[in-house]
Chains A and B, each alone.
Chain A
Amino acid sequence: MTSLLEVFILIPLAAFLISLVIPGRQETLMSQVAFVSVGLHLVCFQIFLLYWLWHGYPDLNLKDIVLYKTDGYEFYLDFRFDEITATYVFVGSLLTFLVTIYSRYYLHRETGYKRFFNTILLFYLGYNAVVFSGNLETLFVGWEILGISSFLLIAFYRDRYLPVKNAVKVFSIYRVGDVGLLLAMWLLHHFWHENITFEALENVESVSKHLENHHWSGIFISLMFLISAAAKSAQLPFSSWLPRAMEGPTPSTAIFYGSLSVHIGVFIMLRTFPFWEHQTLVRIIIGVMGLTTSVVATGIARVQSSVKSQIAYSSIAQIGLIFIEVAAGLEALALIHFAGNAFLRTYQLLVSPSVVSYLIREQFYNFKPRQHTVEDSLPKRLEYSFYILCLKEWNLDAFLYRYFWSPIKWAGRKLNFLATHRILFFFVPLYLVGLYSVYHKEIVPPGLVSAIPYIFSTIGLVLVLKSFTERIHARISWLMVVMNHFWVALAVAFNENFTFTEIHIYLSGVAVFGLVGYYILYQIKQQEGTINLDQFHGYSHQHPKYGLAFLLACLGCMGFPISPTFVGEDLIFNHIHEDQIVLAFFTSLSFIVDGLAIVRIYARVFLGPHAKSVYEMAYRSS
């Protein structure tokens, strides 16, 4: 029975790969591939579910392919199946199946029909990878896939301004979630000295033994899980991304942001529950966060005057309650609540266009001039204040901008004294010196050795900050992003004995994809004349092939699981000691900003309104 688990990953994977090679005009074939594969997945799963229930629903664990192995380090895929997975797959496969059929007609003749189904299948692959995962590494694979498919679906209407802008915004919040997971993985590795499975986390004694002298580290890990979960499930302070993600076609909005994607945060908390079960403080924090979110989000939902944002905030409020249920240890209730909320919001979003005829008709027959609301009984001053706050979404969007991205931009601008075009002349030779000294560590003064990793990782960080705030030169911005990885590798190489193989694994992906990316930018620059980063250019309009290739290059450089860099990132963290929190912080920060800078380059060059034909483009405000 256990070995069957692979099937549920392989079906979506195969479907996604097949869907990539179907010609764009073949609507029927495309939708049939989606229909058959998701349908097959659904049927197989239902049979499997019955079989599993019949056999007394045991927890299943499958250690799958080992991707990389050295002494004391093993990176492998691992799958797990229990009641949590069962519920998530049940809801996920049913909804995806229904939405696939729905979209088959709904998207008829839409430009991007193929792209839509490609992305849905990619999403489905990621979703299954997450919910079937048996360890954090596998979960992380799925997590990254979900992130990128979300980005692509929000920016589905890639020649309009707002979808692209919002896609970048949402991606950046997901990136925060990524780093939460990376840091949690980093510390867990150090405590267990191996990649641990969720099964191992169930072992209460082992957990308490490993955390014995690291009480605060345990709490830190839990909080990292919580940050990832909160980002993904749009809990405070991240809530404002969810309504803004509703830019794609309604069915994709329904399935992603109404139901599946937004409940993945809950999944992480359910999965890691055994780990923080005995940390009362963490459980209180989770509960408080859930409660605050549900109260604030309900207030915001009450004032929303557009259908989709109203559903989004009501859903966030319910997810807040689910977090409370999880924190209280009410797993069964949380699972039922998740399923019900997912179904309800998907359906509500799918029928949301009907709201006009339904409510107008109702109003026509039952109009009462003014409904008395609870808030009317408040003192006016309070009522107005709360109303304005709710209408401004408690400044959540501005808050994220101000306390998250502004400091990064600010830091980047502070580096303006480093003239962009000269940066290469300075850092490349310096890098060579650094590289030389890795092999000849004896030439470095002993006092400096321990400081060097910090210096080098700071340089890496400076490069990505500079890249992120670069306004003109796309190619140099791209080079800085790539160089960042080299500096990080160098920094860690100084930190510990780092074998060549590991460096190769890490940098091979970056180097190859980096070159491809550079080549494409070079070509575009040659053909179009300008690719500054100050505005959107929408070149995928004219150069769809370059657009796709560059997207792949971006993914490769970002450490997406198509590139060896993915394993490499994990390896890198493995070489940061558990007491080097600052180094870990710097490295993870540069990973966040690196991803942002890459997506920014992609979006600015290839997405958005096509810069050269105003006459066929939508208004910026639409």
Chain B
Amino acid sequence: MNPDFDSGFHEKPTLEKIKHYLPAQAPLKDFIHHNTLHAFQEMKFFEGTRHASEILGYKVSLKLSEYRDLFRRGQIREAVLEHRIALRYGQQAIQEWKERLVTKHYEKGPLPRIGSLRAHWKKIYQIDLDSLVHPTLFRILCSYLDQGIAIWNFPVWHKGFLDSIREMEQRSFTSFFRTARAKKLLADGSLKMEDLLAVVVGDETLYETYLFDQQFAHQGWSGMVATVEGSPQTLLDTRQITLHDLIILELLLEIDSLDYRLDNQWQPLASRLSEKPEPLFKKVEQTDLHAVLELWQEAFEWSYYDQVLAGISSPRPEHPSRGTPSFQGLFCIDDRECSLRRYLERFDPACATFGTPGFFGVEFFFQPTDGKFLTKLCPAPVTPKHLIREGGVKADNKKDLHFTKKTHSLFRGWLISQTLGFWSALKLFVNIFKPTMGPATASSFRHMNKLAHLSVINQNQEKEHGLQVGYTLDEMANRVESLLKSIGLVKNFSPLVYVVGHGSSSVNNPHFAAYDCGACSGRPGSVNARVVCTMANHPGVRALLITRGIVIPDSTRFVGALHDTTRDDIEFFDEIHLTAEQLKLHVTNIETFNQALNANAKERSRRFESINTRLTGPEIHERVRVRSVSLFEPRPELNHSTNALCIVGRRSMTRGLFLDRRSFMNSYDYQVDPDGQYLFNILKAAAPVCGGINLEYFFSRVDNQKLGAGTKLPHNVMGLFGVANGIDGDLRPGLPSQMIEVHDPVRLLIIVEQFPSVVLQTIQRSKETYEWFINEWVNLVVVDPETHVCYAFSDGRFHPYEPLAGKLPQIDNLDLLLETNAENFPVYLIP
């Protein structure tokens, strides 16, 4: 049976299908990057995006004129372009295709399919159904889901969404509806979606298309409902809501509006249609324009990839290995840590740095002192079985009267406005001229009290909330072992091994969670860093590790730390446990860290218009700190902007290359892992996490209006879970323009240092992981660790790739280069 022309309507699969295509963004506090077009991931990248574009009306690439402009400016290189054409269509087609790409004029494509059925309401009846239904619908939804803005909450909440409304409608003198029929239909408890669709649409074969049209007219709200339905605990104050309930209410409101406006003088939509619309999900054929845009996109990506590969495969002076490094630092793979590591190595060439996902292999729920809820601190798909409790300190929560509900009551508001009101003027004045941290700032250092005790070690098999409190000795040893083996740190331990999580600080930023560590479910990584250090310092664990071939000398101590990527500040934990000797080394290292952080702030500042990059490191660092607490700063930091690479291999691969903070870096030593066991774990996480981040940036950048959140300046916080423009707007999932404006939309290139045969076996081990590669949602290149030959993955095989770029230019003084401009730099060799 052809699925396009399935005649019947089946409620359940249809709802599942709609949910699959809706945006899957969780409430703001749990903001986690993911592939915006995840629903199309079972197709190849270009095929999937083409369908997304023609069906749902998204823009999925840059504009033709933008690519041509990049080409003129040399950012898309001619040699690469020709190479990409030749790969697809053969050498002889280069001229023909180049002409199409560079000069041919293309007309705009047809209108997207979504919405065309429902548009007939306006065509036939001159009625603007959306503007009649949406305001009421959004308001009811927002009030029902509200997490704590309203003073007077939805009066009935413990029942499901529709039942709550039904109860209110039945026992009220007023109504959400304007006419009798809709109200009566709602009162009937056995109400079926099909019955309502029969009234509104009237033709069973069109129901699904109609529902798609209807729900995608406000995909933000529908997506939020579907997400909350799927995981209710994502709202602290939980609600029972389903997409089914939302659709029923919306259909009722439509009937209500039609009855009201057209005085019952209307028939189901289908009865007035002259012809049936095209099936929504019919295959979208590739046109010439599609092919042209695809080639441009590939050429754009490979213009960058090619330089990187040229750099990586080029022979560089071997870094002299001098036995035990001065200290070792473990950082998150995050692209923002890439430059900090480079500076640490510059200021202390004897140190060694590593990258690994920022939850450091320990997954658990965290309960802060006095916290009423648990926070998950590990990658989003994982469900931990362990609980870490914070204890031994008091929670410190400063209040700010400006956010209290008292200001909104009539009489207290009267008093407050005449007293606190003048205080506000002063606060505003101070905030503008001398921004400081206040209770409203989201600060990474407040995630955990640095003096608190953490329940890392399980005592007497204690359980709480159905979770095991802490870990047993064996569990701890397992985690430390896999962490160290996965990054290849199995010998030559320095006296101090720093484990540095990261987080961020910002104010006036509803998307604050997107700036924290993605591997910790959008939270700072401080607790994880401390937990894993406690484990690695535990004598019992070390004893077990010896049996597994990892000998950590007694003189070695693991020290947890938190790097604030916005402020470029660092905080070390549990320093009191250091011996006098370690402390001495630690003090020297702190100096190195401070130097590196200043330099890092300086490098970051080149993208900030308001900071002069020519100032000295410490001066700039101070400005960067002020920036993080300034109310008026919509870009406290640029987060993952410009991310393009994920390099899995030893540091020697990238040492001496200037990658301009564009790379995720996961340390990995192929020698420790001959059969790809650790590699599997790395790629299993890196593909969805880094790939998800990358694609969210990609799509928010190419279509900031429909797939991104648009500019954040007019955003209005709805119910603490989402943002909208104005008060009657749809929720805006995706990233605001301030986060993506400097981003170049290129897919992630994962570069692995390992033998191709091992990698091929590894990626095929799990279907979900393999999908990312085989369908090209991320690109994959393997570098043979012995021959340094690159192999690009496509169509299930590795093909040798010879970089087209010759020897890369060498930069001797990086600091001078950084002061020149704010654009993306090409790859340079650095000393």
B556 at the interface (CB under 8 A from A): no
Residues of A within 8 A of B507 (CB): 354
A371 (CB) vs chain B CBs: closest residue: B153
B512 (CB) vs chain A CBs: closest residue: A357
With contact pairs A303-B143, A616-B59, A619-B706 given, residues A356 and B172 touching in the complex (Cβ less than 8 Å): no
Say yes or no: B57 contacts A388, CB within 8 Å.
no
Say yes or no: A353 contacts B715, CB within 8 Å.
yes
B53 (CB) vs chain A CBs: closest residue: A615
Say yes or no: B717 contacts A353, CB within 8 Å.
yes
Digitize A467-511: 1 where CB-to-B-CB distance is under 8 Å, 0 elsewhere.
000000000000000000000000000000000000000000000
A49-104 residues with Cβ-Cβ distance < 8 A to B are 94-95, 98, 101-104
Say yes or no: A620 contacts B217, CB within 8 Å.
yes
Binding-face segment, A270-278, A359-367, A578-586:
A359-367
User: Least Cβ distance of B509 to chain A in Å?
Assistant: 6
Residues of A within 8 A of B738 (CB): 109
Say yes or no: A391 contacts B371, CB within 8 Å.
no
Digitize A106-142: 1 where CB-to-B-CB distance is under 8 Å, 0 elsewhere.
1111100000000000000000000000000000000
B466-509 residues with Cβ-Cβ distance < 8 A to A are 507-509
With contact pairs A354-B440, A375-B155 given, residues A347 and B147 touching in the complex (Cβ less than 8 Å): no
CA distance A291 to B728 in the complex (A): 27
A163 at the interface (CB under 8 A from B): yes
B738 (CB) vs chain A CBs: closest residue: A109
Interface size grouping (class) on chain A: 35 or more
Binding-face segment, B93-101, B409-417, B448-456:
B409-417
With contact pairs A310-B408, A348-B407, A613-B108 given, residues A353 and B510 touching in the complex (Cβ less than 8 Å): yes
Binding-face segment, B71-79, B559-567, B628-636:
B628-636
CA distance A301 to B710 in the complex (A): 27
Residues of B within 8 A of A397 (CB): 135
From B420, B712, B725, A160 is in contact (CB under 8 Å) with B725
A229-269 residues with Cβ-Cβ distance < 8 A to B are 243-244, 246-251, 253
Digitize B222-235: 1 where CB-to-A-CB distance is under 8 Å, 0 elsewhere.
00000000000000
B218 at the interface (CB under 8 A from A): yes
Residues of B within 8 A of A98 (CB): 428-429, 432
Say yes or no: A385 contacts B727, CB within 8 Å.
no
Digitize B723-741: 1 where CB-to-A-CB distance is under 8 Å, 0 elsewhere.
0111111101000001001
Say yes or no: A109 contacts B168, CB within 8 Å.
no
Say yes or no: B414 contacts A318, CB within 8 Å.
yes
A148 at the interface (CB under 8 A from B): no
B149-179 residues with Cβ-Cβ distance < 8 A to A are 149-157, 168, 171-176
B139 at the interface (CB under 8 A from A): yes
A359 (CB) vs chain B CBs: closest residue: B148
Say yes or no: A622 contacts B732, CB within 8 Å.
yes
Digitize B134-147: 1 where CB-to-A-CB distance is under 8 Å, 0 elsewhere.
11100110110111
A305-321 residues with Cβ-Cβ distance < 8 A to B are 305-314, 317-318, 321
CA distance A249 to B176 in the complex (A): 31
Say yes or no: A622 contacts B724, CB within 8 Å.
yes
Say yes or no: A373 contacts B151, CB within 8 Å.
yes
User: Least Cβ distance of B815 to chain A in Å?
Assistant: 25
CA distance A350 to B134 in the complex (A): 27
A609 (CB) vs chain B CBs: closest residue: B705
From A309, A359, A365, A618, B403 is in contact (CB under 8 Å) with A359
A209 at the interface (CB under 8 A from B): no
From A247, A367, A615, B237 is in contact (CB under 8 Å) with A367
Say yes or no: A351 contacts B421, CB within 8 Å.
no
With contact pairs A305-B142, A617-B705 given, residues A362 and B397 touching in the complex (Cβ less than 8 Å): yes
Binding-face segment, A11-19, A174-182, A336-344, A596-604:
A336-344
Say yes or no: B725 contacts A298, CB within 8 Å.
no
User: Least Cβ distance of B510 to chain A in Å?
Assistant: 5
CA distance A294 to B108 in the complex (A): 53
Residues of A within 8 A of B417 (CB): 318, 337, 340-341, 344
Q: Which has the most chain A C-beta neighbours within 10 Å: B146, B237, B509, B714?
A: B714
B245 at the interface (CB under 8 A from A): no
A366 (CB) vs chain B CBs: closest residue: B372
From B136, B439, B633, A105 is in contact (CB under 8 Å) with B633
Residues of B within 8 A of A246 (CB): 714, 716, 726-727
Say yes or no: A308 contacts B716, CB within 8 Å.
yes
User: Least Cβ distance of B725 to chain A in Å?
Assistant: 6
B112 at the interface (CB under 8 A from A): yes
Q: Which has the most chain B C-beta neighbours within 10 Å: A317, A341, A391?
A: A391
Say yes or no: B508 contacts A621, CB within 8 Å.
no
With contact pairs A347-B425, A622-B729 given, residues A354 and B508 touching in the complex (Cβ less than 8 Å): yes
With contact pairs A105-B630, A305-B150, A348-B407 given, residues A621 and B217 touching in the complex (Cβ less than 8 Å): yes
A381 at the interface (CB under 8 A from B): yes
Residues of B within 8 A of A365 (CB): 368, 370-372, 395, 397
B816 at the interface (CB under 8 A from A): no
CA distance A559 to B726 in the complex (A): 30
B709-723 residues with Cβ-Cβ distance < 8 A to A are 710-720
Say yes or no: B442 contacts A303, CB within 8 Å.
no
Residues of A within 8 A of B706 (CB): 618-619
User: Least Cβ distance of B715 to chain A in Å?
Assistant: 7
Say yes or no: A621 contacts B730, CB within 8 Å.
yes
CA distance A27 to B98 in the complex (A): 39
B443 (CB) vs chain A CBs: closest residue: A357
Digitize A380-412: 1 where CB-to-B-CB distance is under 8 Å, 0 elsewhere.
111111011111100001000000000000000
B375 (CB) vs chain A CBs: closest residue: A364
From B151, B400, B441, B729, A162 is in contact (CB under 8 Å) with B729
User: Least Cβ distance of B738 to chain A in Å?
Assistant: 8
Digitize B683-725: 1 where CB-to-A-CB distance is under 8 Å, 0 elsewhere.
0000000000000000000010110001111111111100011
User: Least Cβ distance of B56 to chain A in Å?
Assistant: 11
B273 at the interface (CB under 8 A from A): no
Residues of B within 8 A of A620 (CB): 130, 217
From B373, B420, B726, A344 is in contact (CB under 8 Å) with B420
Extra A-B contacts (9), CB below 8 Å, given A246-B726, A302-B151, A308-B716 = A104-B632, A162-B726, A298-B408, A344-B402, A350-B428, A351-B508, A365-B372, A612-B108, A621-B730
Using a CB–CB cutoff of 8 Å, the interface residues on chain B facing chain A are: 28-29, 53, 57-59, 108, 111-112, 130-131, 134-136, 139-140, 142-143, 145-157, 168, 171-176, 217-220, 236-237, 368, 370-373, 395, 397, 400, 402-403, 407-410, 413-414, 416-422, 424-425, 427-429, 432, 439-442, 507-510, 512, 609-610, 630-635, 703, 705-706, 710-720, 724-730, 732, 738, 741
Using a CB–CB cutoff of 8 Å, the interface residues on chain A facing chain B are: 94-95, 98, 101-110, 156-157, 160, 162-163, 165-166, 243-244, 246-251, 253, 294-295, 298, 301-314, 317-318, 321, 336-337, 339-344, 346-348, 350-367, 369-371, 373-376, 380-385, 387-392, 397, 612-622
10 residue pairs, one from A and one from B, having the closest CB atoms: A340-B421, A347-B424, A384-B172, A357-B442, A305-B146, A344-B421, A249-B713, A354-B440, A618-B705, A343-B425
Pick 29 A–B contacts, CB within 8 A, sort by A. A108-B635, A109-B741, A156-B714, A243-B727, A246-B716, A246-B727, A249-B714, A251-B632, A305-B142, A305-B146, A310-B150, A318-B417, A336-B418, A347-B402, A348-B424, A353-B509, A353-B712, A354-B508, A358-B403, A365-B372, A367-B373, A387-B155, A388-B168, A614-B112, A616-B705, A619-B219, A619-B705, A622-B220, A622-B729
